[in-house]
Amino acid sequence: MLGSMNELNPKDAQARLQQGALLIDVREPNEYDEVHATGAQLMPLSDFQNSYASLPRDAEIIMICRSGARSERAGQFLIDQGYGNVSNLTGGTMAWVQDGLPTGDDK
């Protein structure tokens, strides 16, 4: 492992999103369609190694899944590939929803 990943709570993640961070949801399409954090881009873990290279290396990237485990693995993978500003959203989509933050395509 090249570096360690930061952990963010949902409200801090939302604030960073509003400042231009990318929110990457690594769940499968059916999970994403059911509920997702507003602004999240779907990049399923099942295809992540084939799609991650499209992410800008200079962006702040926040990883999210259902509860935080899959996104932590994907985020560590990005760090191992040389991405420098990667965080994991602690508690994932479940915590995002529990905190009452916007879901779907709401703004």
Q: Which residues are catalytic?
A: 65
- Alpha-carbon distance values, 17 to 1, 80, 88 (Å): 26, 23, 13
**Spatial distance between the Cα atoms of 61 and 1, rounded to a whole number of angstroms:** 18
The end-to-end CA distance of the chain, in Å, is: 36
What are the tokens at 72? 């932590």
Q: What share of the chain is helix, strand, coil (3-state, %, to 5)?
A: 40, 20, 40
What are the tokens at 70? 């899959």
